[in-house]
């Protein structure tokens, strides 16, 4: 097992990475939530990962996909917690991917104004990103993750053994976030950025270590933590734009992959990086077998409206962009440059190394 610490003073916790990590749950609950007498396991139909918190369990299922990330679902969870007799001294256990950890974490943050929770991450996306760092929340029709709370888990268990059953599209979704960490260029004590040729345990551990280092320095996204949104400004806009389109089928990491290449092209248009750096972004995204073409049928004006509502924005259009000093937050990007770069995306090759 690899242990990655998230250093947050008296709220510090461990990310446990490895085949069979979920079997550490009873130990974690006993050590980190010693007053727990009951547990609420939040999961989805079809996840099929059994856990033993070491205390009596009530199981709650939420809908599949982004449709679970609503205030209504959070209300239903909290009402279920109340009916089951869950107290503030007990524990919520999220078993699933990023949707489950986001929704269950927000419900835990809200119930009794804060109930302990543990994430058992079962998807690559959750293991490398979503389950770590305490950002919980749900969507509104107006945008992604606009309602939520910072609420740190007591532990995160990343059982890489369960990834063997992931469908190819879920691998792609997780790989979008791994590619993001590769392009951020941040190293840690356990090694440099992840690469596509590393064993999966090492990829997960390196991503977790990068996120842990950023979260430890900036828990509530004052500045540095915004770097973790690299590729997400357009990525979230693509997802939000697709909420009312039943024909759309775009996973989070797939949208991020598009957003990463878009961010490189935008940085190039603004004179921040050269052609070689743009090619590097395409090569990294291609190495993880991800497409980066802009999906057809998107209206630039609609995408711009979603980008303007992004959490990083301060009354302007804000992006995380590469530059001479590395990746950083850039405020006040001109809308005409964004629209022109969207046009560049439409004429670019759809996939693979440059």
**Selected catalytic residue, list 135, 206, 280, 311:** 135
Instruction: Answer yes or no: are the C-beta atoms of 342 and 302 closer than 8 Å.
Output: no
Contact 59, 87 (CB under 8 A): no
**DSSP alpha helix (H) spans, 85-151:** 98-110, 124-125
CA separation for the pair 172, 250 (Å, rounded): 10
Catalytic residue among 2, 154, 211, 282: 211
Nearest to 43 by CA among 111, 116, 112, 126: 126
Phi (first) and psi of residue 94, to 5 degrees: -90, 125
**Any catalytic annotation for residue 225?**
yes
- Structural Rg of the chain based on CA atoms: 20
Give the active site residue among 206, 232, 281, 311. 232
Which one of the listed residues 154, 229, 239, 282 is annotated catalytic? 229
Which of 14, 24, 177, 254 does the annotation list as catalytic?
177
- Is residue 177 part of the annotated active site? The answer reads yes
Q: Which residues are paired to 173 by β-bridges?
A: none
Catalytic residue among 69, 144, 236, 251: 236
Distances (CA, A) of 139 to 146, 270, 306: 6, 31, 12
Catalytic residue check, 135: yes
Q: Which residue has the tokens 């439409």?
A: 346
Q: Where on the phi/psi map is residue 271: left (φ > 0), alpha (ψ -120 to 50), or beta? A: left
Q: Which of 72, 83, 113, 220 is catalytic?
A: 113
* Known catalytic membership, residue 232: yes
Residues 258 and 95: their CA atoms lie apart, in Å, by: 28
- Would residue 219 show up in a list of annotated catalytic residues for this protein? no
Is residue 107 within 8 A of residue 74, CB to CB? The reply is yes
| Among 66, 221, 239, 254, the one annotated catalytic | 221
83 is catalytic: no
Q: Phi and psi for 247 in degrees, rounded to 5?
A: -85, -15
E strands, the chain, where? 2-6, 13-18, 39-44, 57-62, 91-96, 116-121, 135-140, 143-150, 155-159, 319-321, 328-330
Rounded to 5°, the CA angle 226-229-233 comes to: 115
Q: Which residues are catalytic?
A: 113, 135, 177, 211, 221, 225, 229, 232, 236, 252
């Amino acid at each position: 097992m690899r242990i990655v610490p998230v250093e947050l003073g008296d709220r510090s916790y461990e990310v446990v990475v490895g085949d069979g990590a979920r079997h550490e749950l009873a130990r974690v609950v006993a050590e980190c939530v010693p007053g727990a007498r009951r547990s609420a396991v939040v999961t989805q139909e079809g996840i099929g990962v059994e856990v033993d918190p070491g205390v009596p369990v009530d199981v709650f299922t939420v809908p599949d996909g982004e449709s679970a990330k609503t205030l209504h679902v959070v209300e239903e969870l909290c009402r279920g917690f109340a009916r089951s007799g869950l107290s503030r001294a007990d524990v919520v256990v999220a078993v699933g991917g990023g949707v489950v950890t986001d929704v269950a974490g927000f419900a835990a943050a809200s119930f009794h104004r804060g109930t302990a929770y543990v994430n058992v991450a079962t998807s690559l996306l959750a293991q490398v990103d979503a389950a770590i760092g305490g950002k919980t929340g749900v969507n509104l029709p107006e945008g992604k993750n606009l309602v939520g709370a910072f609420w740190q888990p007591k532990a995160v268990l990343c059982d890489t053994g369960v990834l063997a059953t992931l469908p190819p599209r879920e691998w792609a979704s997780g790989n979008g976030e791994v590619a993001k960490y590769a392009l951020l260029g941040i190293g840690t004590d356990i090694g440099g950025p992840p690469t596509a040729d590393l064993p999966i345990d090492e990829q997960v551990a390196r991503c977790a270590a990068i996120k842990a280092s950023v979260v430890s320095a900036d828990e509530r996204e004052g500045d540095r933590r915004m770097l973790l949104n690299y590729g997400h400004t357009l990525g979230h806009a693509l997802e939000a734009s697709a909420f009312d389109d039943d024909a759309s089928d775009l996973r989070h990491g797939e949208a991020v992959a598009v957003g990463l290449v878009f961010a490189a092209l935008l940085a190039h248009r603004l004179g921040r990086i050269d052609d070689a750096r743009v090619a590097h972004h395409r090569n990294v995204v291609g190495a993880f077998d991800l497409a980066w073409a802009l999906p057809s049928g998107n209206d630039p004006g609609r995408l711009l409206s979603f980008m303007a509502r992004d959490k990083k924005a301060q009354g302007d259009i804000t992006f995380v962009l590469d530059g001479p000093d590395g990746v950083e937050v850039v405020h006040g990007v001109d809308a005409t440059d964004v629209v022109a770069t969207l046009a560049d995306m439409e004429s670019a090759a759809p996939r693979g190394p440059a």
